[in-house]
Copies of this chain bind each other. A is one copy, B any other.
Amino acid sequence: MPDEIRILGINGIPLLKKGDDIAKAILDAAEKQGTPVVEDDVLVVTQKIVSKVEGRVYRLSEIQPSILAKRLGRKLDKDPAIVELVLRESRAIVRMSGKHLITETRHGFICANSGVDVSNVSGGDAAALLPVDPDRSARDLREQIRRLSGKNVAVIVSDTFGRPFRIGHTDVAIGSAGIAPVLDLRGEQDLFGYVMKVKETAIIDELASAAELAIGNSNEAVPAAVIRGFKYAHSDEGARKLVMQRKNNLFR
């Protein structure tokens, strides 16, 4: 039998709100479904429940859109309150075309609408913003899991991003803790002794995508998954390591 990697969705996590203990909710749900968290698991948690417990949810009816937000809202056919939140969360507008508003977030991520999201929040009147510091969110969650269970796990906070050159979305890591974000094979020899010049695998993004297969889609009942049996290097670096510097970006 080969080594095998398992992806386990965690069912039965209750709807969480600001201040709730997300670590406890996940540990309890995993235990209850018969798959308690074990040492070296990779726990992938979707951004939205992290944002909720961190109080990053805003009622759209309470947002005062700026003049710019109102103007862009008309242009893009978007709710000006949402545009206002998008602008507050952004460092730069990268592209604007049709109904698309691609921004660079405060963290340096380039994505649609600064990651501001109205689905699965509360019926369209509220929007969830990305965590202020998703690497810190991941570290806190990892630490709290260790405190409650004694287990060391890697934690990834995932979100769903589009890709500039391919149709469709995949989940990527916006925050991580306890795992090296990149597996760097530059300089290693391949099977024929050829030294590979370029190969840096974005491990945490691949793990986020793998977890999404179990997390699925519109059903918030599964906002987290565990990946078990994957060997990874430990690291204090976070997902910010995957943020591309503007000067290295060929497509800005």
Which A residues have a C-beta under 8 Å from some C-beta of B?
A: 1-11, 33-35, 95, 97, 100, 102, 109-110, 112, 118-124, 160, 163-172, 181-183, 185, 188-194, 196-203, 205-207, 209-210, 212-214, 217-221, 227, 230, 241-244, 249-251
Contact = CB atoms under 8 A, between A and B. Distances in A.
A18 B168 CA distance: 34
Task: Give the number of times this chain occurs in the complex, counting copies.
Answer: 2
B199 A217 contact: yes
A243 B120 contact: no
A164 B199 contact: no
Contact of A169 (B11, B199, B251): B199
Contact of A218 (B10, B181, B189, B207): B189
Given A3-B214, A119-B194, A201-B212, 14 more contacts: A2-B9, A2-B214, A5-B7, A5-B214, A119-B190, A120-B191, A164-B249, A165-B244, A169-B201, A170-B209, A189-B218, A191-B219, A199-B217, A210-B210
